[in-house]
Amino acid sequence: MTRTRTAPTPVPTDRIPRGDTIRDVVTGFGHRVRGGDLGSLPVVVGLVLIWAIFQLLNPTFLSPQNLVNLAVQCAAVGTIAIGIVLVLLIGQIDLSVGAVSGLSGVIVGVTFVNLGWPLAVSIVAAILAGSVLGLIYGLLFTSFGVPSFLITLAALLSVLGLQFWVLGKNSTINIPFDSPLVFFTQQLFLPPWLAYTVAGIAALGMFLTDWRTIVRRRRAGLPEGSLTLATLKAALLLVALCVVVWYLAKDRGVGAMFLLFVILVALMNFLLRRTRWGRSVYAVGGSVEAARRSGIRVDRVYISVFVLCSSFAALGGVLAAGRLASVSLSSGGTDTSLNAIAAAVIGGTSLFGGRGRAWSALVGILVIQSISNGLILLNLDSSYRYMITGVVTLLAVIIDSLSRRSRASHGQA
């Protein structure tokens, strides 16, 4: 007997949350959670729990001084994690980011200290070297179809050898403390008035973005949202940022290097969510064949993402070199790649491609560095940090897999 398949009953339009009121927003969020779209909710809850536990075990954990140190510690690896988020969005991986960051740091050390190049030229050369490596990865992947796992695994060894060759007989190169790079990464903090100004600009930027979306949807005849709600979101963001600035200003304030990291995250989030290239990245990660049939230049998307990933790795290596004021054979060690990948995954980027945001790099690295920082304050061995980070990463992957199944059962992409 042949079974007839009945078409699903359409949902009445008056039952679809329009997003015009706070109630609609809450209702829509509930629908997404029940459908398996958890977003960054698990990692935010986890971060709050981690902070609460470490604060109970050591009251200095949430002190202004420690939080300033925590922010500074996040910037270098967090910058590398931005690139990992991008490459995971297209369903690929880059295992060589740690080696690329080490190579870029060594390039800065050798050219700036030993060869006497201008610092700006050394930094550009280091980032350009990372971009070239990413271009090679992309061309190998698109031309020969070699899995990115194997390409970047082979590159990890090759780039590590190149790092040793560039460093030469010098096992360590110290970067002068009076250099602009070390000053920027270690000693430059925003004065309170400038930090409050940046907070105001961020809130204004959020409001203008939401307002522009409302206007565009109104012109298209779509549910347009609420201007009042957009104003409320911007006001809440402003208050939250001002509280953070006020609290950190009790010590040294907001570090310039951490601010650069946050700006890079915001910029990549804008490019991913508001540009044609960003929509193409999500499309390729969701379904390569569907993206190709819709006219997207899939190969160009792959190449651009690999280039950006390696460029962010190189920039992260430059920041790490400045923060440590030295480069050596151990620059960009094994845990650099692992922490960057773990940060992207813990932050909510799907290993299956097509789901995640640039903000995953920020919240993910905050989790990892909070664990490391808290264990140091408790005088525990670093072995615990690796074990706990591994468990947290595994939990993030399990949550991602479960939410993916839930979305599939609800008929979502």
pLDDT tens-digit readout, 99-108: 999 999 999 9
Given a contact cutoff of 8 angstroms between Cβ atoms, the answer to whether 78 and 320 are in contact is no
* Helix segments in 145-287, DSSP class H: 148-167, 180-182, 192-219, 227-248, 256-274, 276-286
Tens of pLDDT, residue by residue over 38-84, are 566 778 888 899 999 999 999 999 999 999 999 999 999 999 999 99
Instruction: Mark residue 253 as left, alpha or beta (left: phi above 0; alpha: psi -120 to 50; beta: remaining).
Output: left
- More confidently predicted of 18 and 268: 268
Residue 379 has what pLDDT? 87
Residue 136 has what pLDDT? 97
Residue 2 has what pLDDT? 43
User: Does the pLDDT of residue 35 top 60, yes or no?
Assistant: no
User: Does the pLDDT of residue 111 top 70, yes or no?
Assistant: yes
Residue 11: pLDDT band (50, 70, 90) is very low
Distance of alpha carbon 131 from alpha carbon 134, whole angstroms: 5
- More confidently predicted of 33 and 371: 371
Distance of alpha carbon 355 from alpha carbon 267, whole angstroms: 18
Distance of alpha carbon 183 from alpha carbon 181, whole angstroms: 5
395 burial via Cβ count (<10 Å: 0-12, 13-18, 19+): middle
Long-range residue pairs from 205-208, CB within 8 A, at least 24 positions apart, any chain: 205/266, 206/233, 206/234, 206/237, 207/231, 207/233, 207/234
User: Does the pLDDT of residue 9 top 90, yes or no?
Assistant: no
Candidate from 38-47, 234-243, 253-262, 267-276 with smallest mean pLDDT: 38-47
- Give backbone dihedrals phi and psi of 275, rounded to 5 degrees, phi first: -125, 160
Residue 113: pLDDT band (50, 70, 90) is very high
User: Does the pLDDT of residue 196 top 80, yes or no?
Assistant: yes
Residue 241: pLDDT band (50, 70, 90) is very high
Given a contact cutoff of 8 angstroms between Cβ atoms, the answer to whether 253 and 72 are in contact is no
Residue 34: pLDDT band (50, 70, 90) is low
| Region 312-337 average pLDDT | 92
Tens of pLDDT, residue by residue over 117-165, are 999 999 999 999 999 999 999 999 999 999 999 999 999 999 999 999 9
| Region 203-221 average pLDDT | 88
User: Does the pLDDT of residue 344 top 90, yes or no?
Assistant: yes
User: Does the pLDDT of residue 214 top 80, yes or no?
Assistant: yes
Residue 243 has what pLDDT? 97
Cβ neighbours, 10 Å, residue 185: 26
Given a contact cutoff of 8 angstroms between Cβ atoms, the answer to whether 175 and 327 are in contact is yes
- Mean pLDDT over the full length of the chain: 87
| Region 229-236 average pLDDT | 92
| Region 371-384 average pLDDT | 85
Residue 5: pLDDT band (50, 70, 90) is very low
Residue 25 has what pLDDT? 59
| Region 179-194 average pLDDT | 96
User: Does the pLDDT of residue 258 top 80, yes or no?
Assistant: yes
304 half-sphere exposure, CB direction, 13 A CA radius? 14
Given a contact cutoff of 8 angstroms between Cβ atoms, the answer to whether 317 and 129 are in contact is no
User: Does the pLDDT of residue 23 top 80, yes or no?
Assistant: no
